[in-house]
Amino acid sequence: MTLRKVNVVILILLAVAFLIIVQRNLLSLSDFLHKESPDPGMVLPFEAELSPDVRLDLERKGEEIPVLIPAAEDRLGAVIAAMNSVYQNSKANVVFTIVTLNDTVDHLRTWLSQTKLKNVKHKVIIFNPDLLDGKMPKDPRTAETSKPLTFARFYLPLFIPEAERAIYLDDDIIVQGDIQELYEANLKPGHAAAFSEDCDSASSKGFVRGAGHQDNYIGFLDFKKESIKKLGMRANTCSFNPGVIIANLTEWRKQNITQQLEHWMELNTREDLYSKTLAESVTTPPLLIVFYKRHSSIDPLWHVRHLGTMGAGNRYSPQFVNAAKLLHWNGHYKPWGRASSFSEVWDKWFIPDPTGRFYPVRRHSD
Give pLDDT, residue 313.
Answer: 85
**CA–CA distance, 107 with 329 (Å, rounded to integer):** 24
Helix or strand (DSSP H, E) at 265: helix 257-271
In the predicted model, what is the mean pLDDT of the chain? 83
Give pLDDT, residue 166.
Answer: 98
Give pLDDT, residue 90.
Answer: 96
CB-count burial class (<10 Å; 0-12, 13-18, 19+) for 51: middle
CATH of domain 65-203+211-348: 3.90.550.10
**CA–CA distance, 203 with 327 (Å, rounded to integer):** 10
Other CB atoms within a 10 A radius of the CB of residue 313 amount to 14
Radius of gyration of the chain (CA): 25
User: Which of the 8 DSSP states describes residue 66?
Assistant: E
85-135 pLDDT, tens digit per residue, is: 999 999 999 999 999 999 999 999 999 999 999 999 999 999 999 999 999
Higher pLDDT, 48 or 348: 348
Give pLDDT, residue 361.
Answer: 83
**CA–CA distance, 302 with 246 (Å, rounded to integer):** 11
Residue 205 has pLDDT above 60, yes or no: no
Q: Euclidean distance between the first and final Cα of the chain, in Å?
A: 100
**CA–CA distance, 26 with 40 (Å, rounded to integer):** 22
Please give the model's pTM, rounded to 2 decimal places.
0.82
Q: pLDDT grade, residue 8 (50/70/90)? A: low
Domain boundaries, given as residue ranges, for the chain:
65-203+211-348
Q: Are 122 and 54 in contact (CB under 8 A)?
A: yes
Instruction: Show the CA angle centred on residue 183, arms to residues 298 and 247, nearest 5°.
Output: 70
Give pLDDT, residue 22.
Answer: 47
Residue 324 has pLDDT above 50, yes or no: yes
Q: Are 336 and 360 in contact (CB under 8 A)?
A: yes
Which of 160, 323, 344 lies closest to 247, judged by CA? 160
Beta bridge partners of 94: 65
Residue 4 has pLDDT above 70, yes or no: no
Higher pLDDT, 314 or 255: 255
Which of 159, 149, 155, 192 lies closest to 66, judged by CA? 159
Show the beta-strand stretches assigned E in 72-227.
93-100, 122-126, 165-169, 173-175, 193-197
